[in-house]
Amino acid sequence: MKAPTDRTRLRRLHEKAAYDRDSIDAILDAMPLAHVGYVMQGAPVVIPTLQWREGDRIYWHGSAASRSLKAGKGVQVCVTVTLTDAMVLARSAFEHSVNSRSVMVFGQAEWVTSAAAKAAHLQTMVETVFPGRWDQLRPMTETEITATAILSLPLTEASAKISAAPPGGTDPDEDKPWPVWAGLLPISLAMGPPIPAPDLPPGTALPAHAAQYRFGQKPQ
């Protein structure tokens, strides 16, 4: 039987790190949910939020946690976005794993300060995370723009990690005759039937943008 270090090498064949922007952008664009790590008084704090990408940067709403950090200065963060694609059921406990795609972005996040820039980014957020909806919404007010904090981070220090074990898994050859079912159990994000607000004006139909909405993309 191979030693685990050899097996770890075997598994690594199906794991790759990617530093090209196409790989990174594809993951960021497929999953709005991000986990943003800050350091507060020396301790890590990880906050879930929605991110959206505009060209070479990602953006998110500043949270109460980030607001308590030095306002106006850069804030050191790590933003991680993860998609789970499948559970990998192997013949041994050791080789069980998850096929996934993730991106980590490191750097100094910056506050968006001008009201005009904030308004433009908020519109892009809605057009990215809630596509097709912007033109139908009650327009934003200046008070709302003022009340919203936005952080942004360049994609200069970003990397992707993609785990994609095949259905045959990463079991060494000597484990393959073991009499247990092995394979992949694909995971995807699904949308349930839309639930309309009880107080919609009469005759308000379900628009295509809501009927066809998807949170996150299907697995590759």
Q: Which of residues 82-101 bind a copy of itself (CB under 8 A)?
A: 82, 84, 86-87, 89, 91-94, 96, 98, 100
Q: Which of 53, 134, 149, 159 is in the footprint of a copy of itself by CB under 8 A?
A: 134
- Closest to 34 (Cα-Cα) out of 16, 15, 56, 61: 61
Nearest distance in Å: CB 59, a copy of itself: 14
* Length of the chain counted residue by residue: 220
Nearest distance in Å: CB 19, a copy of itself: 17
Nearest distance in Å: CB 112, a copy of itself: 15
Supply 178's token pair: 């073991």
Q: Report how many residues bind a copy of itself under the rule CB under 8 A.
A: 96
Supply 64's token pair: 């109460």
Range in contact with a copy of itself (rule: CB under 8 A) among 9-17, 21-29, 30-38, 66-74: 30-38
Hey, what long-range contacts does 85-88 have (CB within 8 A, 24 or more apart)? 85/164, 85/186, 85/187, 85/219, 85/220, 86/184, 86/185, 86/186, 86/187, 86/219, 87/184, 87/185, 87/187, 88/165, 88/169, 88/170, 88/184
Nearer to a copy of itself, 48 or 72 (CB): 48
Residue 131 found at the interface with a copy of itself (CB under 8 A): no
Residue 17 found at the interface with a copy of itself (CB under 8 A): no
Q: Which of 43, 64, 70, 116 is in the footprint of a copy of itself by CB under 8 A?
A: 43
Supply 58's token pair: 């990602």
CA distances from 85 to 10, 31, 64, 171, 189 (A): 20, 12, 32, 19, 9
Residue 140 found at the interface with a copy of itself (CB under 8 A): yes
64 and 78 in contact (C-beta within 8 Å)? Answer: no
Supply 147's token pair: 């009340």
Nearer to a copy of itself, 25 or 86 (CB): 86
Nearer to a copy of itself, 35 or 53 (CB): 35
Residues 149-208 that bind a copy of itself (CB under 8 A): 167-169, 175-201, 204-207
Residue 10 found at the interface with a copy of itself (CB under 8 A): no
Residue 116 found at the interface with a copy of itself (CB under 8 A): no
Q: Which of 147, 156, 162, 217 is in the footprint of a copy of itself by CB under 8 A?
A: 147
Residue type, 167: P
